Amino acid sequence: MILVTGGTGLVGSHLLYQLVRKKEPVRAIYRNNSNLNAVKKVFSFYTDDVETLFSKIEWMEADLNDIPSLSLAFKGVSHVYHAAAFISFDSRYYFELRKTNIEGTANVVNLCIENNVEKLCYVSSIATLGETLNGDIISEETHWNPEAKNNCYAISKYGAEMEVWRGTQEGIKAIIVCPGVILGAGFPDTGSGQLFSRVQKGMNYYTEGECGFVDVEDVAECMIKLMESEHSNQKYILIGENRSFRKLFSSIAKYLNKPAPQKKLSAFTLNLLRRMDAIRSFFNGKEQVFTKATIDAALNRNYYSNEKIKKDLNISFQPLEKSIETICSRVSAP
């Protein structure tokens, strides 16, 4: 039996489809406020027989920090894909980030040990990698710098990785994947889905930053192949292409038949927006959109290597332009 956490999220839902298509026995956990219809929506991108495939998943209500319910979900499980996480760059949520991402992962690792799970795959992030000087390419050997001004999300994901490495010292075989910005359809209001939604609504600005991007289907495929391989206790960067945000937005606009963004947002403007957003957030209690972390990501030029995963699995990633075209066709579909 395979267990998937975070099955109602972007990575988890696409991963579940690939697993059930392989006729694997799959159990997925969800919280009482999760949207299972979002998973069905993702399945509909691939098949007309949504209900049949969806019914093959054994759904169990559980929480990463509710040990009794989580313990039940681990019964009879041999392999675990841990994709559940809390994502925020707002420092007000620091303790919630630690609770879900670090303590929750510790609970998953402990139950893997207790139940003699054969292998664990943890979905981390390129946020846990260090930065290089002079724009040199970032690889798995570019180690985390604890002295840097790391954001709250990155700290929580790095802490979660440390729990996974602890598990390997206690006998668990594990794989850590660090995707770049994951592009995929099905979740227009969260993560990279918001980039497509904003362009669709008419976005006329761009930033100068560059980053690594990857299609969610490639992420799920790499995770499955790594779990089926002999590779263990390894960390892999998953990116299909390094690209500027301007080029990304222009491609999205092209396939959505929208004007390409023309106005560049400067660091000064972004920081002014951050201060205004902090005031708005203070009064309405909603999460900040513009934070130091998101502004840094929008302005920094970081380049990532995918050579290790290509060498170890002998795979190639989808061309990013084709991925964007496919996602846009799904976003604009009725």
Total domains, the chain: 1
Residues 244-269, mean pLDDT to the nearest whole number: 89
Residues 57-65, mean pLDDT to the nearest whole number: 95
Predicted local confidence at residue 248, as pLDDT: 93
Residues 306-322, mean pLDDT to the nearest whole number: 95
Residues 75-99, mean pLDDT to the nearest whole number: 94
DSSP string for 37-89:
HHHHHHHHTT-S-HHHHHTTEEEEE--TT-HHHHHHHTTT--EEEE-------
Other CB atoms within 10 Å distance of the CB of residue 53: 16
Tokens of 71: 């313990």
Query: Confidence class of residue 266 from pLDDT cuts 50, 70 and 90?
Result: confident
Predicted local confidence at residue 293, as pLDDT: 77
Residues 206-230, mean pLDDT to the nearest whole number: 94
Q: Is the confidence at residue 160, as pLDDT, over 90?
A: yes
Residue 120 is part of which domain span? 2-257+295-332
Q: Is the confidence at residue 256, as pLDDT, over 60?
A: yes
Question: 């099955």: which residue's tokens?
Answer: 7
Predicted local confidence at residue 154, as pLDDT: 93
Predicted local confidence at residue 246, as pLDDT: 92
Assess if residue 269 is contained within a domain.
no
- Alpha carbon dihedral 303, 168, 309, 225, in 10-degree steps, equals -140
Residue 113 burial by CB count (10 A; 0-12/13-18/19+): exposed, middle or buried?
middle
Assess if residue 235 is contained within a domain.
yes
Query: Confidence class of residue 213 from pLDDT cuts 50, 70 and 90?
Result: very high
Amino acid at 30: Y
12-32 pLDDT, tens digit per residue, is: 999 999 999 988 899 999 988
Instruction: Tell me what the pLDDT averaged over the chain comes to.
Output: 91
Predicted local confidence at residue 333, as pLDDT: 61
Assess if residue 196 is contained within a domain.
yes
Residues 189-193, mean pLDDT to the nearest whole number: 84
In percent, the amount of the chain with pLDDT more than 90 equals 69
Residues whose CB is less than 8 angstroms from the CB of residue 79 and which lie 6 or more positions away in sequence, other chains included = 1, 2, 3, 117, 118, 119, 120, 121, 227
Predicted local confidence at residue 183, as pLDDT: 96
Predicted local confidence at residue 97, as pLDDT: 96
105-157 pLDDT, tens digit per residue, is: 999 999 999 999 999 999 999 999 988 777 789 999 998 888 888 899 999 99
The CATH number assigned to the domain holding 232 equals 3.40.50.720
Q: Is the confidence at residue 268, as pLDDT, over 90?
A: no
Predicted local confidence at residue 243, as pLDDT: 94
Predicted local confidence at residue 332, as pLDDT: 67
Assess if residue 274 is contained within a domain.
no
Assess if residue 80 is contained within a domain.
yes
Give the whole-angstrom CA distance, residue 118 versus residue 104. Answer: 19
Q: Which residue has the higher pLDDT, 169 or 293?
A: 169
Predicted local confidence at residue 334, as pLDDT: 57
Q: Which residue has the higher pLDDT, 248 or 204?
A: 248
Residues whose CB is less than 8 angstroms from the CB of residue 108 and which lie 6 or more positions away in sequence, other chains included = 5, 64, 70, 80, 82, 120
281-305 pLDDT, tens digit per residue, is: 777 777 777 777 778 787 788 999 9
323-333 pLDDT, tens digit per residue, is: 999 999 988 66
Predicted local confidence at residue 308, as pLDDT: 97
CA atoms within 13 A on the CB side of 130: 12
Q: Is the confidence at residue 178, as pLDDT, over 70?
A: yes
Amino acid at 117: V
Assess if residue 289 is contained within a domain.
no
